[in-house]
Amino acid sequence: MVEKDSERRARENPVPDEKGTYRDRLATVDSSGKRSWIYPKKPSGRFYRARNWVSLFLLIILFSGPFITINGHPILLLNILERKFIILGMVFWPQDFILFGLAMIAVIVSIVLFTAIYGRVFCGWVCPQTIFMETVFRRIEYWIEGDAAQQRKLNQAPWDSSKFFKKFSKHLIFYAIAFIIGNTFLAYIIGKEQLFDIITASPTEHLTGFIAMLLFSSVFYWIFSSFREQVCTLVCPYGRLQGVLLDADSVVVSYDNKRGEPRRNLARGDDFSQRADCIDCHRCVDVCPTGIDIRNGTQLECVNCTACIDACDHVMDKVNRPRGLIRYASYNNIEQGTKFRITPRVFGYTSILLLLVSVVLFLLLTRSDIEATILRTPGVLYQEVGDGKIANLYSAVIINKTFDELPVEFRVVKPSGGEVRLIGGPLSIPSQKVAEATFFIDLPKSEVTRVKTHIEIDVYSGDERLQHVKTTFLGPNPFRERDDDDRHDKRKQQNEHDRKEGKGKSDDKHD
């Protein structure tokens, strides 16, 4: 087997990291394959402060979302159990699957587009996992157990009253917050009213809801107390797609190797005009919540949280070097000094996104308040009624997608002269309910020119047309009727002929 040049160069000139592992495993896994616990130092700096404000804003939206209403209805409800979604006060049903599916595709394309331009900014600034872990749970851990060195020392210390109190307090608060988070997410599924019923009533009255509440809380507690950053590296597929989504023009958290290499420790009297800027202090590694060294380039574990940028900027300030050794930059920006540009791929993603958004907006604006299905009742033939008309029996199923009761009537638009006879009186559909109706449609015989005549029906609520429905009308076979008429005429002529011949023979006998 012929060895490739790249494989030969890698074999002859291996470039290990500082631990000699050649980066052949995740930062959270040791050489034996076991979990390596991460103790990141508490970050500080301009990006960290900005992330805190963004996180606070998003947390306020998240926890207040189930309780914000528009015209008495939740701003967001994803009721999977009843197959009903409420978004910005508008209710959506399974019949809106195409609209919802296109909207989800548009969201995915927007994330792909944003990633192609700005990398994993979503992970570091918006993702709930990162916000809860770094802004909420990690801060509580710092408050109770101290910074990274103190946490490591506490975990290695034997159990005593102080360690028990700290661990018990931390995990008690963790579970309490996980309980709040779990119930908030549950409120987005079942609604705040049902959630209050589950919380205030006896568990035996809402056993399923109570189990769901405990399950949600326990899962969130386990994630933020134990599983932590492994959600990003082992579970979430988004990080593993970076190799496909990113290119040389994507702006990500990057280390400027042209400024920083060759790195070496700072010595007294060093002249920076004769050396690179990186002093190999490892501050960027110490603050990383996933334990990586950003100087090794863009990696699966990097969530673009900017903690390394703040740490490096702080060091650069101390050694009187310009900030930005680690910064938001693209590969081409660092290697060639080029600024951001719109690539053909970004242009293509943008075009697809604009097309999808346009289609979604069109479907949303033209969306009907009801969903009506009108079919001719099977097994029932046409009927001939008075005044030269033919009647068919129809069944209708109407879904009211609104929060208001809707009076509904049917009108035949095509062909002309059609009339609707509703069985059971006027039809009114309650809010968010399904109603069934049965009615006759009468058409003049002159309009029924074939066995199946295509007809069009409008569904009205007052003077507002809600939906246009097409169906068929069953009538007599005109060719069969014509054949029957011909046979009838022939039979009549034959009878007349036979009658005349019979009369002639009778006269001959008489003579």
In a shared domain, residues 78 and 99: yes
In a shared domain, residues 63 and 171: yes
- What count of other Cβ atoms lies within 10 Å of the Cβ of residue 132? 20
In a shared domain, residues 137 and 216: yes
| CA distances to 21, 263, 282, 284 from 18, in Å | 8, 12, 10, 14
Helix and strand element counts for the chain (H, E): 18, 16
In contact, 155 and 71? CB cutoff 8 Å: no
Looking at the domain assignment, is residue 439 inside a domain? yes
**Helix (H), strand (E), coil (C) string for 329-389:** ECHHHHHHCCCCCCCHHHHHHHHHHHHHHHHHHHHHHCCCCEEEEEEECCCCCCEEECCCE
Residue 373, beta-bridge partner list: 397
Instruction: Please classify residue 255 by burial: count the beta carbons closer than 10 Å to its beta carbon, then call 0-12 exposed, 13-18 middle and 19+ buried.
Output: buried
Question: Could you tell me which residue, 491 or 182, shows the higher pLDDT?
Answer: 182
The CATH code of the domain that includes 393 is 2.60.40.10
In a shared domain, residues 306 and 190: no
> What is the rounded average pLDDT of the residues 65-83?
86
User: SS3 for 157?
Assistant: coil
- Tens of pLDDT, residues 435-482: 999 999 999 888 888 888 889 999 998 888 889 999 989 888 765 555
Q: Provide, rounded to the nearest whole percent, the portion of the chain with pLDDT above 90.
A: 36
Residue 326, beta-bridge partner list: 255
| CA distances to 59, 179, 222 from 219, in Å | 19, 10, 5
Query: What's the length of the chain?
Result: 511
The pTM assigned to this predicted structure is 0.77
Domain that holds residue 135: 41-68+129-246
Average pLDDT, whole number, for the chain? 84
Does the pLDDT of residue 189 top 50, yes or no? yes
Whole-number Å distance between alpha carbons of 217 and 225: 12
Max Cα separation, the chain?
157
Looking at the domain assignment, is residue 17 inside a domain? no
In contact, 231 and 129? CB cutoff 8 Å: yes
Tokens of 390: 């033919």
In a shared domain, residues 216 and 149: yes
